[in-house]
Amino acid sequence: MTRYFAFNGDADGLCALQQLRLASPGDATLVTGVKRDIRLLERIDACAGDTVTALDISLEQNRDGLLRLLAAGAQVDYFDHHHAGELPSHAGLRAHIDESAAVCTSILVDRHLDGRHRHWAITAAFGDNLGDVARAMAALARLDARETLMLERLGTCLNYNAYGECVEDLHCDPAELAQHMLAFADPLDFAAQCATYTLLCEGYEDDMAQARRLSPVHEVPGAALLVLPDAPWARRAIGVLANELVRGRPGDAIGLLSPKSGGGFAVSVRVPAHSITGAADFCRAFETGGGRRLAGGINHLPDAEVERFTRSFADCFGAPLTQAGPAGQTPSPPGRSR
């Protein structure tokens, strides 16, 4: 029997994996990648007697792989909070799906384990931009202000590390990071003792110092759009920058476009809680788009689709797109030269 874990390489996927591995130690095959590398079940060839645990990867995006694994006789446990679509009816599937805005996958695992490794779930909630939820959980866990701040910092840095076009963009391969984490039952000990965490913190500070100097290329009441430069630091910073901007501008939708080496853009979208249209619903209007209620993305937005995206974003979340300039002139969509 082989045990597989297919997990998102971000804070939520890593911390969900950590909780389950601490609760049930043993050998396992890890399947992961960068944040947007979510069609992971297609990489797994499991058969009867094998177990597959999917963590923080959209069931909708993995439906074909899931059905193939179930048909082969594998047992699949699925923990996720993204849009799933219709759940397959199969005796081999145990689904823990909750698309509520106030949960993340690690919180679902925390519920499943009755809070056995809750500090890791708190870390994930901070990384997944659920600060209020995380602080409430930390208070119930009787963590003091210093400990809570350490978990917030750790969650942010774990999440930051997952963003990139390829694993080479990252400071640490998520599979290797998971192995570094495994030795620590408490994330506070990991943060205090692991040299890899120090590396992530230093990289985070350097990248975010550059990211915070960026300004929107298009801005209307209720919505702001930024285009990042074509550089590894920018690809790493995109997710944390999006979360930071939406916290600083809680009434606005935020869109970030990051150039891809083969053309087109990766897109991150954050929307305020009061938004009529959710981030996932908006992003699903574009091929490779998805996400959840408050945070979504598009894995590949072709250059030819940028103008449609720009205008749709402004029309959906803000006032009609206008920009200072000659009367009646409308701005061109963001280009790769910016």
CATH assignment of the domain containing 173: 3.90.1640
Amino acid at residue number 282: F
Splitting the chain (338 residues) into consecutive groups of 10 residues, what average pLDDT does each group show? Answer: 97 98 97 94 97 97 97 98 93 96 96 98 96 97 98 96 93 97 98 96 95 92 95 89 90 94 92 92 94 90 96 86 34 45
- Residue 319: predicted pLDDT: 58
Sheet containing strand 93-97, edge to edge, reads 29-31, 3-7, 51-55, 75-80, 93-97
At 189 the three-state DSSP class reads: helix
Q: Are 41 and 29 in contact (CB under 8 A)?
A: no
Q: What is the C-alpha separation between 120 and 110, in angstroms, rounded?
A: 9
Question: Which two tokens mark 189?
Answer: 């000990």
Report the number of distinct structural domains present in the chain: 2
**Residue 309 belongs to what domain range?**
218-317
Q: What torsion do the CA atoms of 219, 103, 236, 259 make, to the nearest 10 degrees?
A: -50
**Domain final residue pick, 175, 204, 233:** 204
User: Which ranges of 170-220 would DSSP assign to H, the alpha helix?
Assistant: 174-182, 187-193, 195-211
Of 276, 285, 266, 283, nearest to 222 (Cα)? 276
Q: Nearest 5 degrees, angle CA 122-CA 53-CA 103?
A: 30
Residues 265/307, Cβ–Cβ less than 8 Å: no
Sort strands 51-55 and 75-80 into parallel, antiparallel or unpaired: parallel
291 torsion bin: left (phi>0), alpha (psi -120 to 50), beta (else): left
141 and 23 share one domain:
yes
Assess if residue 157 is contained within a domain.
yes
What is the spatial distance between Cα 259 and Cα 237, in angstroms, rounded to a whole number? 13
Alpha-carbon gap, residue 288 to 24, rounded angstroms: 34
- Asked whether residue 145 is domain-assigned, the answer is yes
Helix (H, G, I), strand (E, B) or coil at 236: helix
User: Is residue 230 one of the residues assigned to a domain?
Assistant: yes
Beta-ladder partners of 80: 97
Same domain, 168 and 111: yes
pTM score: 0.83
pLDDT of 170 reads 95
Q: Which of 174, 204, 234 is the last residue of a domain?
A: 204
Among 162, 178, 204, the domain boundary falls at: 204
Whether the Cβ atoms of residue 106 and residue 120 lie closer than 8 Å to each other: yes
Q: Give the torsion through C-alpha atoms of 320, 323, 324, 328, to 10 deg.
A: -60
- Same domain for 269 and 191, yes or no, is no
The three-point CA angle 329-332-338 to 5° equals 135
The answer as to whether 93 is a domain residue is yes
- Domain at 266, CATH number: 3.10.310.30
What pLDDT sits at residue 36? 86
